[in-house]
Amino acid sequence: MDLTGRLVHFWLSPSGREALGDVIAGGPDFEALVVEESDLGLWIWMPDLEHGSREVTLLKWDYFAAARLEYEPEVRQEKPRAGFRRPG
Amino acid sequence: MGANFRVNVPSGFSNPDAQDLSETEKGAARGMGLTEEQFRQSKIQLFLAEQQRRERGRDLGEQVQSILSELGSEHHLISVTWNGNTLSWTLGIAAPQGSQNVVVSRELVDDALDSRTRSELQRLRNMILFGLGRQELILKH
């Protein structure tokens, strides 16, 4: 699943709490917009921390233990078919 | 909604004629061990791919215009440009603080336009609002 552009609720892992505990105040879970994915982890924008700016934070893959996001299977919208129609 | 924006998809060929190959192209075909007909067919296929990309750019622009309409008349789309080297689209947007360039990846655009589901279009919307510095609207939706 591609996370770029999604609002995701994260729960920090023990190593994430140790690394980011001072940065993310208020508990081990937070909501963030995923701006970019990389080999190292996710570049995120945290509304609570960076409300007025566009600063982003690298959340390394092992810094979070769980993530929750809205997953809504939706019916794909079919485009009208091009081509010939059988005469009625 | 009027689609008064430019779609820029640079062509890979300096000679826009798919049927009559230039001497340079004939030389290139020989250099690659292709017949002129094989080269011509390959060029036609590439032209078709470029045309499809222009249509995708037009479709993307219409979606972006719809997103920008939430921000009022001070924001409008100027151009949609394909970046072949980074496989991304650059959206040129006129905003009160001046012209802004917002870059979105091909994957994000294809996901949104191929599925057209609410959640995929929402991802496109979020990245455009973030690029424009209107993050507060991401949370309100």
Domains of chain A, by residue range, sit at: 7-68
Q: Put residue B14 in one of left, alpha, beta given phi > 0 → left and psi -120 to 50 → alpha.
A: alpha
Contacts of A77 in chain B (CB under 8 A): 115-117
Are A77 and B115 in contact (CB < 8 Å)? yes
ipTM score assigned to the predicted complex: 0.77
Which residues of chain B, if any, have pLDDT below 50? none
Average pLDDT over residues A7-31: 88
User: Is-contact B112 B126, C-beta < 8 A?
Assistant: no
Q: pLDDT tier at A15 (50, 70, 90 boundaries)?
A: very high
- Can you give the length of chain A in residues? 88
The pLDDT score that the predictor gives to residue A26 is 72
The Cβ of residue B134 has, within 10 Å, a number of other Cβ atoms equal to: 14
Which residue from B128, B120, B124, B5 is spatially nearest to B62, judged by alpha carbons? B5
More confident of the two residues A27 and B9 = B9
d(CA B50, CA B69): 28
User: Is-contact A5 B124, C-beta < 8 A?
Assistant: yes
Average pLDDT over residues A3-24: 90
Q: pLDDT tier at A50 (50, 70, 90 boundaries)?
A: low
User: Is-contact B77 B65, C-beta < 8 A?
Assistant: yes
Q: Model's pTM, two decimal places?
A: 0.83
CB pairs under 8 A between A and B: 52
CA distance B3 to chain A (A): 20
Contacts of A51 in chain B (CB under 8 A): 135-136
On the question of pLDDT at A27 being above 90, the answer is no
Q: Residue B125: closest CA among chain A residues belongs to which residue? A: A5
Chain B contact for A49 (CB, 8 A cutoff)? no
Tokens for A19, please give them. 């690394």
Average pLDDT over residues A51-72: 86
Q: pLDDT tier at A84 (50, 70, 90 boundaries)?
A: low
User: Is-contact B55 B71, C-beta < 8 A?
Assistant: no
Residue showing tokens 């994260």? A10
Are A77 and B133 in contact (CB < 8 Å)? no
The pLDDT score that the predictor gives to residue A25 is 73
Rounded to whole angstroms, what are the CA distances from B105 to A24, A60, B84? 29, 21, 11
